[in-house]
Homo-oligomer: A and B are copies of this chain.
């Protein structure tokens, strides 16, 4: 594309291989970096290399970690009696973001989806059961999205644990904050009516 610099060209190519970044944006990013303080660019480059070389998966919860056991799993101050099961690391971060949950996590790495050929054995489900057997958790929250795959996964997990002494809960389903009732789908509206809660709810802290 540009004839004056092979180095620039390579950087543009590398950037444009990233998701959501087209050739024009890649060029804009590369030119921005080229105009930037040298050390800042080097820092970005190095942090990407560190990401490739240093990042590993926590052997307990399967989130990304810098060490064998991630910072959450090795944090003794966090509540060790409650475990939150999520589909992906992204979901874990989303829950951490709201800063009201202080227990452990378990990342499944996907959802059961027979159509896509994803059975329980392809997910970190056995590891979850092993962990539940080895540790004394009082509660497990299934923080899994409300789709067919999500419901299937939640059902599979809960069924397997039906004769174990653990409270299993799931995220509340209902109308989203700020949404308009007239545009809510029927299932959501009927469920939120069925599972209506006492007014007002004072206790918005999870643990």
Contacts and interface: CB of A to CB of B under 8 A. Distances in A.
A50 B12 CA distance: 12
Interface residues of A, number: 61
Contacts of A40: 17
Given A18-B29, A32-B18, A58-B4, A53 B42 contact: yes
Contacts of A63: 4-5
Given A4-B64, A58-B4, A90-B31, A11 B50 contact: yes
Number of copies: 2
B66 A7 contact: yes
A45 B44 CA distance: 7
A118 interface: no
Contacts of A5: 55, 63-66, 70-71
A143 interface: no
A1 interface: yes
Contact of A4 (B8, B17, B65): B65
7 contacts: A4-B71, A5-B64, A7-B66, A14-B48, A17-B40, A45-B48, A49-B49
